[in-house]
Amino acid sequence: MILNHGVRGSVPTYNVDTSYYGGSTPCVEIITNEAQVIFDCGTGFSKVNFSNDLPSIIIISHFHHDHIQGIPFNKTLSEKSKKIFISTALFNKDKLKQTLTNYFSPPYFPINYFNEFNNINFVDFKDLETSFKKFNFKSFKLNHPGDAFGYSLIINNNKFCYLLDNEFYDNQLSSLKDFCEGSNSVIWDGMYTENEIKTKKGWGHSSIEQGLKFAEKLDLNNLIISHHSPDRTDQQINDLIKKYSNYQIQFASENKSLKIWTE
């Protein structure tokens, strides 16, 4: 099951025009019988429920504000009995710990958050599979200022890909297609429309239409557009759904779970 806790790019956007699809910044939770796996910790991360017996794995694409700013606002994360694993392909575990510790301490944050409790284990990405043998995690270097990594997760022959944030170019097609081959679902950075992206070269994001073309090439049944522009209203998304009704496409919506696994 996929839970989209945060679907909005760049900045939280809470107003009457965005309330249906949601205004929290990126956070996606995959729940299987084996574990809960969380991709990114934007403001949507405050809604992840860690009060369960499942092992919890957090994987971070990169460290732009919109992908980490929710970490200290999850009330169940700090339950001392729970072991949480956190990792990224962008940094090793020491740099990961250092980066998050610096970010969530003065002068950016009132307290040194990571000194307050010790149930978070920082793990090198290559070591995740040692701890979670039933999972197959892979990473893919995306095209984004300062770099970001996309991920694939295979469990019980189900494959899921997470590709935020990425500026797609045609020269990325063949390697990205190989990376996503056989996926049940792909989350795609659809920050812009094909018109908007013309003036956004170098900002590190893709268009919805690039996602549609990619899904066709991949023969993918379930393309999930996310990282919606902060300016994108519910009405505009509904219009895009009508416009592209011939395609297998969904627009990520907060608190709406998607059942994609056959366990």
* Positions in the binding site for Zn ion (CB under 5 A): 9, 64, 66, 165
Q: Which is nearer to Zn ion, 5 or 64 (CB)?
A: 64
Structure tokens given for 173: 């097609």
Q: Which is nearer to Zn ion, 27 or 237 (CB)?
A: 27
- Give the CA distances from residue 5 to residues 46, 108, 188, 196, in Å, rounded to whole numbers and listed in that order: 8, 24, 15, 25
Q: Which is nearer to Zn ion, 64 or 159 (CB)?
A: 64
Q: For Zn ion, which residue has the nearest CB?
A: 64
Considering the complex, what minimum distance in angstroms separates the CB of residue 165 from Zn ion?
4
Q: Which is nearer to Zn ion, 27 or 180 (CB)?
A: 27
User: How far apart are alpha carbons 210 and 244 in whole angstroms?
Assistant: 13
Considering the complex, what minimum distance in angstroms separates the CB of residue 229 from Zn ion?
11
- Single-letter amino acid, residue 242: K
Any idea what the Cα angle at residue 186 is, between residues 181 and 192, rounded to 5°? 125
Cβ contact 226:188 at 8 Å = yes
Placement of tokens 């409790």 in the chain: 117
User: How far apart are alpha carbons 143 and 150 in whole angstroms?
Assistant: 10
Nearest-10 Cα torsion for 181, 187, 188, 193: 130
Considering the complex, what minimum distance in angstroms separates the CB of residue 40 from Zn ion?
8
Considering the complex, what minimum distance in angstroms separates the CB of residue 133 from Zn ion?
31
Q: Which is nearer to Zn ion, 32 or 229 (CB)?
A: 229
Instruction: Indicate the DSSP class of residue 73.
Output: G
Considering the complex, what minimum distance in angstroms separates the CB of residue 22 from Zn ion?
15
Cβ contact 150:163 at 8 Å = yes
Placement of tokens 């084996």 in the chain: 34
Considering the complex, what minimum distance in angstroms separates the CB of residue 228 from Zn ion?
11
CB-facing half-sphere around the CA of 78: CA atoms within 13 A: 11
Structure tokens given for 197: 């992206």
Q: Which is nearer to Zn ion, 159 or 205 (CB)?
A: 205
Cα 151 versus chain centre, distance: 9
Considering the complex, what minimum distance in angstroms separates the CB of residue 59 from Zn ion?
15
Q: Which is nearer to Zn ion, 8 or 159 (CB)?
A: 8
Structure tokens given for 114: 């990571």
